[in-house]
Amino acid sequence: MSSTPLLDRMRASGEWNPAWDQMAEMDPEWVESFMTMGLKPRLRGVLEPKVWELIAIAVDAACTHLYGPGVRRHIGKALELGATREEIMAVLEGVAVLGIHSCALGFPILAEELELRSATKTEA
């Protein structure tokens, strides 16, 4: 089996997502490379760990991702690192606006469809 120091470290620290198991079994070198690339910003240490956890909460809670186990893990870690309830709420409230695009897309279409149906009934 290939050497996967980062993956091994992620498993040992509880950061490993079991959904990645099959990929790691099939191509451990690729997953190791992918994780190394994906985690580089965090591992570089430019951002404070608490800030990184707040960003991770936003990513996992976003309507395009909705990964509950990650939200739970990152909220726990953020709290351990000193994040306040208010900071975490601000992140969740901020990311909630992503869902507004569903309304921005859907409501104009609904209005058009209602207008078309109204016009069709009037013509009949």
pLDDT level of residue 1 (50, 70, 90 thresholds):
low
Which is it for the CA torsion 76, 78, 81, 87, positive or negative? negative
Full-model pTM: 0.73
Helix H segments across 1-124? 5-13, 21-26, 28-44, 49-61, 68-80, 85-96, 100-123
8 A C-beta contact, residue 62 and residue 98: yes
- The residue extents of the domains of the chain are 1-46
Side chain identity, residue 31? V
CA angle 61–62–66, rounded 5-degree value: 60
Using one digit for the tens of pLDDT, what is the confidence trace for 74-118?
999 999 999 999 999 999 999 998 888 878 888 898 899 999 999
